[in-house]
Amino acid sequence: MDNSYFLYARKSTDVEDKQVLSIDAQLNELRSLAQRDGLEIAAEFVEKRTAKMPGRPIFNDMLLRVGRGEAQGIICWKIDRLARNPVDGGQISWLLQQGVIQHIRTHDRSYLPGDNVLMMSVEFGMANQYIRDLSANTKRGLREKARRGDFPGPAPMGYLNNPRTKTVMLDRRKAPIVKAAFELYAEGKSRLTDIAYFIYDKGIKTQRRKGGEGGRKISDDHVKRILTDPFYYGHFSYGGDIWRGNHTPIVSKSLFDKVQDTIEIRGRGQKAKQDPQVFCGLLHCANCGCFITAEEITKYQKNGNVHRYVYYRCTKKRGPCSQSYVREEVLTAQLSDLLSHYALPPEWARELSHMADKDELEAEHIAGISVQELRAKIADLNERESRLTDLYVSQDIDRDAYLERKQSLMSERKTAEEQIARLKRDFTAWLQPLREWINEGLKLN
């Protein structure tokens, strides 16, 4: 037998390789084995890839060189270092039977062309079946984790993977920035690039990776993936299905929907509708009598900062007017100073307080009815989702249609749940500023 051998060492980051010796340990052991057995190592091949799929470039190169006669044998730690799939296993078995490979030496045994090929086939088969069982068990475990509402993957921006609990938790530094990015885009005045610069300016940059640069702003596509990811309001996709997560949402469903509307409007090349300014329709120009209107000016800086200014001016509908514009902050100060000279009569205050109390009772009654209606809607959505699942299990509906309808039902349910929470929390929120205004008005007397 020719004394020329190729040494092959392999280890991957897969679960099945966790108990395998490190690359360095394999090399040291195999070199000692070759020296002890008097085997000459013609070349060493080191590969850091899984063997559960064919196509390892270093492994294929080694077999190609064996076929050219550069070596007649292979030294490896165990036979499963060479193959964990039937394609590569069959290739090794065939080359050994044909005498192209004349000897395979592992740390505990030898494989020769004259040996019963059944034993090697069994070992390769066991390695492949181990991979299949491990893969099935891993997928089953991850799917069960998703079913419990725990996201089985790397946390998106704004979240962290908790290594102790194996769950996703809020990133206290980044989560507020992500929420602010949603709010900024929902206003309809920022581009994806503006949001990318906004995030960069807040200290969130691309990670430095091997062979690449980091520390830059994220791409526009990355921004869009963030803004369209339902994970941020509490849902996630995994394993071809949609799940309700246990993680804390960063944004509300209503804010998420508003962002989707803005994305759709911008995709059609239209400008998002702007909210009316505070004082529009309330003031007239003292010079010509026309209404006072407002304009919002947005300025983008190269460092990513976005500044917005609101200016009030005469509409000049009746012709030229000598009055110039005024900043909103200045106008607000002028009106506050003007109103500070007026007091609220006590009898008016009592009447307004009585009206506020009456409105509070009415609002509470209306909110209770609305909550009941929303709970009934949620029950109906749950029933529809259950029927949809039955249709999918009985194969009366394909996967794409199932996922689309399930996403729609879950989205509706999330919206209804948020509406209930908002009604319970804020059904009289507008009355508190009114009562504060009444008290402030009385103090001026």
Q: Cβ distance 194 to 306 under 8 Å?
A: yes
Tokens at 284, concatenated: 């007239």
- Tell the burial category of 163 from Cβ atoms under 10 Å away from its Cβ (0-12, 13-18, 19+): exposed
- Tell the burial category of 250 from Cβ atoms under 10 Å away from its Cβ (0-12, 13-18, 19+): buried
Phi, psi (rounded to 5 degrees) for 158: 100, -10
> Residue 173's Cα: distance from chain center in Å?
16
Residues in CB range of 204: below 8 A, 6 or more apart: 157, 174, 177, 218
- Tell the burial category of 383 from Cβ atoms under 10 Å away from its Cβ (0-12, 13-18, 19+): exposed
- Helices 220-227 and 192-201 meet at what angle, rounded to 10? 90
Topology of the domain comprising 159-267: Hect, E3 ligase catalytic domain fold (3.90.1750)
The domains of the chain are located at: 4-143, 159-267, 292-339, 346-443
Residues of the chain with confidence (pLDDT) below 50: 1, 16
- Tell the burial category of 289 from Cβ atoms under 10 Å away from its Cβ (0-12, 13-18, 19+): exposed
pLDDT of res. 1: 46
Q: How far is CA 420 from CA 78, 258, 416, in A?
A: 62, 18, 6
- Ramachandran bin of 311, using left for φ above 0, alpha for ψ from -120 to 50, beta for the remaining angles: beta
pLDDT of res. 300: 65
pLDDT of res. 331: 87
Distance CA 204, CA 157 (A): 9
Q: Cβ distance 298 to 189 under 8 Å?
A: yes
* pLDDT tens, residue by residue, 245-281: 999 999 999 899 999 988 888 776 555 555 567 778 7
Q: Cβ distance 196 to 205 under 8 Å?
A: no
pLDDT of res. 211: 59
Tokens at 435, concatenated: 């009562």
Q: Which CATH class is domain 4-143?
A: alpha beta
Q: What's at 44, amino acid-wise? A: E
Distance CA 249, CA 231 (A): 7
pTM of the full predicted structure?
0.53
Distance CA 183, CA 227 (A): 10
